Structure 1
Amino acid sequence: MIKRQESMVLSQYTELYELIIPKDNLLRRIMDLVDFSFVFEELREKYCPDNGRNAIDPVRLFKYLLLKSIYDLSDQDVVERSMYDMSFKYFLGMAPEEPVINPSTLTKFRKQRLKDVELLDMLIMKTMEIALEKEVITTRSIIVDATHTRARYALKSPMEILKDQSKNLRKSVYAVDESMKDKFPEKNTTEELTDELDYCHQLIEVIEQERALPNVPKVKERLNRLKEIVADDTEHLRASEDEDARVGHKSADHSFFGYKTHLAMTEERIITAAVITTGEKSDGKYLPELIEKSKAAGLNVDTVIGDTAYSEKGNIELTKAQNIALVSKLNPSVTQGTRSKEDEFEFNKDAGMYVCKAGHLAFRKARQGKKNAQKNQVDTYYFDVEKCKACPFREGCYKEGAKTKTYSVSIKSDIHLEQMAFQETEKFRRKAKERYKIEAKNDELKNRHGLKVAEASGLFMEIQGATAIFSVNLKRILRLLDAKKGQ
């Protein structure tokens, strides 16, 4: 049964908060900025209204997840800190002497209450609503990019994951007390996942029975990590590896296994839209969705700023139809082709044909591709193979044994010609300078709010991304409000 907690639990010690927590404390400021009742209204239907025991207030459980993101903590650590950190207790709406939840409650909350909730869009919409109400957004541009998140399980089997985590935990224990070797259970020697899980449970139990050992920072960190894996993600381990993650490429020689978060952000550095996908997805394909979500969040978009990944023909046509300026350089293969200068043939305008480096003129031309298709049409010029066989420049130009020799040139569409002209304008150059801002935002999400590595797969990755973005948006709004006051 669900019952809304209207206010902080009454206690004779509540006044301590006013004495201990400064007015400029981040959590106090977030409490003043955000009315969290929207969480209760969104999740109301996930609970029975009049049957069973009283459930823990979903707003409080959501705030626990938010604290995890703001301070990059595990379930175990965020609950433990809420035992003694008064700012945490204040933020959670707890009385100073009130007991904390069991960490497993957060697992159940994610799995049972947040399933099928469009949490990512809901939280971004809420921060945009606050930002627009506080008038801290004045521009109408969005900067777009995608950042990658490595899968928690990499490309390992469930057995390998558990063995690695238990091994790391044992090593940290031995560094403190080598005599613990005699107390630990026998290592699992079978290939059964259930046996390895049982071993991990026994290992955890032995360590927790020691008085001081679990409080050693390195031991504590690895102990909590192993506990969270065996308790929180057992079904993900059973599913083998991370079924939702995929291999993506950051560059031609650098790949990763995991997810992508496609982002749109204002020039004031407030995220307006996000889409979380598997790692192999193309960045440019998600521009239409980012634009629509940004508009739905209340931003009247007139400019999109992005790298060359967003300048594909479909995106140019889309933004033009919506009267949006696309500040994204065309791929060099469109503007100058894929050949180096020394490999280019010259065009003879009188003959209407290309001439090779040896001075031989093409004898036939054919056009390939459909007009107005997503890809540009290509003119292919044919050369006399018999001349190529004896040509002094045949090395690297003519492949021995080939029956034909052709030279193809992409025909630039009108829309590409327009974009090329726009690239040379002062507006394009000025707006393009704003793109660095989203690189800094990606770094903040990954290195300060835990988005570098996925906590788990599927649903949990979506929740992790949603709370991280919600956190950075709230912090940014507070900074912008401070700047307004200082003007």
Structure 2
Amino acid sequence: MLNQHKQLSFYTELYNKIPENHTLRLINNFVDFGFINEFLESSYCRYYGLPAKEPELMIKLLLLQHLYNLSDERVMEEASLNLAYMYFLGINPEDTLPHPSLLSKFRRHRLLDFTLDEVLIEVVKQCVDHGIIKDTTGISVDTTHTQANTFRATPERVMKRLAKKLFCHLKEEIGEVPDNVDVTIPNYKEIENHREAKETMKTYLEETLDKVEETVEIEKNPKTKGTIVLAREILKDPKFLESKGVRSIVDREARVGHKSKTKDFFGYKTEYMMTTDLIITAVNVGDGAYVDGKKFEELLELTKKSGLTIDELYGDKAYFRKNILDSINACEAKVYIPVSEMAYKIDEEKFSYNKDSDEWFCAQGNNTVRKYHKKTKNRESYRYYFEKEMCRDCPLRDSCITGKAVGKILEVGVNTPEFYEYSQQQKTEEFKKNYKKRASQEGKNGEMKQYHGLDRAKRYGLKSMAIQAKLTALAVNLKRIATILSSKKAGNPSILLFNFSMWIKFGGQIKTTMKIS
């Protein structure tokens, strides 16, 4: 442990004023955050430089920030005045806190994406070990969107801003814009045809970049060079002019995504898994164009690292895909995901399937007698052939068979026979009843956005958004743990079991642990 904070001051008696059921007291008495120092120990030097602030303290400050949706400055201010905050941080009331700027440096230089995954896993493990959640449980998966911390610009405006940024850096580094460079940026708003406006701005920016490179020694002017490299990279992307690439030079990793067929947004997507007890087990963040389920296997593995055995898995139609269903089946878990019309297009009023005999039956009682595996460059399917003589005399022949074919040919995707079984399961009362458990996911989305700031990115870039989303997940987990403990304690006054063997480990500070019976 790098530095060890000890609440040994005379003033710690003030902590007795904090109610026993206060959220931060319950969390601090239940969750052991000591593992954080071990996770981050290798990123600090023990022997050189000024002593670093303890990683556990820094992450606790960040958790307070996301629990109460505070800025860097405000969380430091509150932590200097609020007894419950001080108790949670493990400091004495008279201790000084680091400057708010240190939080920003800690996020950028010390707090890695995978570190927060490990912290999340460890907290969930402690929940399992202490009986907060069962080790065998149901898991739900979903995504929620977050608006970028900047506005969405058109490609024309992005190119205009790149040109202005280039001129600004030229004046800063060499004192002027070269005479051969045209500083009069075209007024794209006067061009009615949007495609023509884009091409006009693209041509102007490319010519400007060429002239600057011909005139200026860009290797000696790093800011000018950086802007040129950035502009070239953006223009090179074929998605850019189609408004599917970069839409802001402030946040170049944010993308346009779709909440529905008619509504879109500009920003990022957070995908997470959560137990039916409302404890988040794994988080992944992608840009706004992220396809739901793309990182499903990674989320599943992170969830299993928490010591959980998954017996049920819930998701919406976006997760009805062969690879996802196979991953769930490999866990021997029950699948509660509605059939997607994009993956399964059989009209079940006309056709039914028997998996044992691998036959399809039509509504008139005819059955398939053979099948053919059809494989082309872009598609793989099965063609099932119905018995010709029954088709020949069928009263529905004219509406069922087109062309010169004698018998009905049913062509289906290679996964359709397997998907048929899922479609039949979803008609059962068991499926309809259990699928209602997934509704809690929407409530968790709303909680993270409304009360913990996940509705809008606080900073720029995918890494920063991932840190924000995972800290938010940790914050709502801690709040949920406190709620469970509070309700359990109300029903069982002897819930607290003191473990004095922790006394030595924490350097003389008694650490209270809880076990849920």
TM-score (normalised: structure 1): 0.68
Whichever residue aligns with residue 126 of structure 2, its letter is I
Whichever residue aligns with residue 46 of structure 1, its letter is S
Provide closer, same or farther for how the CA distance between residues 374 and 40 of structure 1 changes in structure 2, counting only shifts above 3 A: farther
Q: Deviations over 1:426-485 (max 9, x none)?
A: 321122111101111111111111111111223222221121111111221222233334
1:472 and 2:476 equivalent?
yes
* In structure 2, distance between residues paired with 1:243 and 1:5: 40
Q: Deviations over 1:171-219 (max 9, x none)?
A: xxxxxxxxxxxxxxxxx999738999xxxxxxxxxxxxxxxxxxxxxxx
- Aligned equivalent of 2:118, options 122, 137, 157: 122
1:80 and 2:77 equivalent?
yes
TM alignment of 1:129-208, pairs within 5 A = 129-138=125-134, 139-156=136-153, 192=168
Farther off after superposition, 38-47 or 27-36 = 27-36
1:316 and 2:314 equivalent?
no
Q: Secondary structure at the match of 2:309?
A: coil
1:36 and 2:36 equivalent?
no
- The unaligned stretches of length 5 or more in structure 2 are 159-163, 173-226, 232-247, 351-361, 386-408, 492-517
* In structure 2, distance between residues paired with 1:278 and 1:109: 24
Provide closer, same or farther for how the CA distance between residues 321 and 27 of structure 1 changes in structure 2, counting only shifts above 3 A: closer
> Which position in structure 2 is the counterpart of 1:399?
none
Q: Deviations over 1:22-61 (max 9, x none)?
A: 2222212211112221111111111111122111222211
Q: Deviations over 1:277-329 (max 9, x none)?
A: 22212113333222222111111112111111111122223333442221111
1:427 and 2:399 equivalent?
no
- Aligned equivalent of 1:281, options 285, 290, 313: 290
> Which position in structure 2 is the counterpart of 1:109?
106
Provide closer, same or farther for how the CA distance between residues 478 and 193 of structure 1 changes in structure 2, counting only shifts above 3 A: farther
* In structure 2, distance between residues paired with 1:11 and 1:189: 54
Q: Secondary structure at the match of 1:141?
A: strand
Whichever residue aligns with residue 450 of structure 2, its letter is N
1:15 and 2:18 equivalent?
no
Provide closer, same or farther for how the CA distance between residues 128 and 370 of structure 1 changes in structure 2, counting only shifts above 3 A: farther
The alignment covers a number of residue pairs equal to: 377
Q: Secondary structure at the match of 1:332?
A: coil
Q: 1:248, 1:258 within 8 Å by CA — same for their partners in 2?
A: yes
1:4 and 2:7 equivalent?
no
* In structure 1, distance between residues paired with 2:426 and 2:452: 35
User: CA shift at 1:123, angstroms?
Assistant: 2.2
Q: Secondary structure at the match of 2:307?
A: coil
Q: 1:369, 1:378 within 8 Å by CA — same for their partners in 2?
A: no
Q: Deviations over 1:75-97 (max 9, x none)?
A: 11111222322222222233323
TM alignment of 1:48-67, pairs within 5 A = 48-67=45-64
**Aligned sequence identity (%):** 35
1:25 and 2:4 equivalent?
no
Provide closer, same or farther for how the CA distance between residues 374 and 431 of structure 1 changes in structure 2, counting only shifts above 3 A: farther
Q: Secondary structure at the match of 2:11?
A: coil
Q: Secondary structure at the match of 1:264?
A: strand
> Which position in structure 2 is the counterpart of 1:449?
452
Q: Secondary structure at the match of 2:12?
A: coil
> Which position in structure 2 is the counterpart of 1:259?
268
Q: 1:312, 1:330 within 8 Å by CA — same for their partners in 2?
A: no
Provide closer, same or farther for how the CA distance between residues 17 and 348 of structure 1 changes in structure 2, counting only shifts above 3 A: closer
TM-score (normalised: structure 2): 0.64
Q: 2:6, 2:91 within 8 Å by CA — same for their partners in 1?
A: no
Q: 1:119, 1:466 within 8 Å by CA — same for their partners in 2?
A: no
Whichever residue aligns with residue 126 of structure 1, its letter is E
* In structure 2, distance between residues paired with 1:272 and 1:265: 6
* In structure 2, distance between residues paired with 1:310 and 1:80: 44
> Which position in structure 2 is the counterpart of 1:305?
314
Provide closer, same or farther for how the CA distance between residues 421 and 113 of structure 1 changes in structure 2, counting only shifts above 3 A: same
Provide closer, same or farther for how the CA distance between residues 51 and 329 of structure 1 changes in structure 2, counting only shifts above 3 A: same
Q: 2:256, 2:267 within 8 Å by CA — same for their partners in 1?
A: yes
Whichever residue aligns with residue 417 of structure 1, its letter is Y
Q: Deviations over 1:211-270 (max 9, x none)?
A: xxxxxxxxxxxxxxxxxxxxxxxx9x9992212222211111111122111111111111
Q: 2:26, 2:485 within 8 Å by CA — same for their partners in 1?
A: no
* In structure 2, distance between residues paired with 1:30 and 1:244: 35
RMSD: 3.9
Whichever residue aligns with residue 304 of structure 1, its letter is L
Q: Deviations over 1:82-120 (max 9, x none)?
A: 2322222222233323333211111111112113x5133
- Aligned equivalent of 2:488, options 473, 481, 484: 484
Farther off after superposition, 314-323 or 298-307 = 314-323
1:243 and 2:229 equivalent?
no
Q: Secondary structure at the match of 2:146?
A: strand
* In structure 1, distance between residues paired with 2:446 and 2:425: 30
* In structure 1, distance between residues paired with 2:28 and 2:171: 46
Q: 2:254, 2:288 within 8 Å by CA — same for their partners in 1?
A: yes
* In structure 2, distance between residues paired with 1:446 and 1:288: 25
Q: Secondary structure at the match of 2:482?
A: helix
Provide closer, same or farther for how the CA distance between residues 18 and 375 of structure 1 changes in structure 2, counting only shifts above 3 A: farther
Q: Secondary structure at the match of 1:118?
A: helix
* In structure 1, distance between residues paired with 2:88 and 2:490: 27
* In structure 2, distance between residues paired with 1:92 and 1:195: 48
Q: 1:141, 1:302 within 8 Å by CA — same for their partners in 2?
A: yes
User: CA shift at 1:378, angstroms?
Assistant: 6.8
* In structure 2, distance between residues paired with 1:194 and 1:85: 49
Provide closer, same or farther for how the CA distance between residues 76 and 379 of structure 1 changes in structure 2, counting only shifts above 3 A: farther
- The unaligned stretches of length 5 or more in structure 1 are 162-187, 197-234, 342-346, 354-364, 381-406
Whichever residue aligns with residue 53 of structure 1, its letter is L
* In structure 2, distance between residues paired with 1:137 and 1:112: 34
Q: Secondary structure at the match of 1:274?
A: strand
Q: Secondary structure at the match of 1:69?
A: helix
> Which position in structure 1 is the counterpart of 2:464?
460
* In structure 1, distance between residues paired with 2:419 and 2:169: 56
Q: 2:336, 2:431 within 8 Å by CA — same for their partners in 1?
A: yes
User: CA shift at 1:12, angstroms?
Assistant: 3.6
Provide closer, same or farther for how the CA distance between residues 93 and 153 of structure 1 changes in structure 2, counting only shifts above 3 A: same
* In structure 2, distance between residues paired with 1:481 and 1:350: 59
Whichever residue aligns with residue 465 of structure 1, its letter is A
Farther off after superposition, 88-97 or 65-74 = 88-97
Provide closer, same or farther for how the CA distance between residues 287 and 190 of structure 1 changes in structure 2, counting only shifts above 3 A: closer
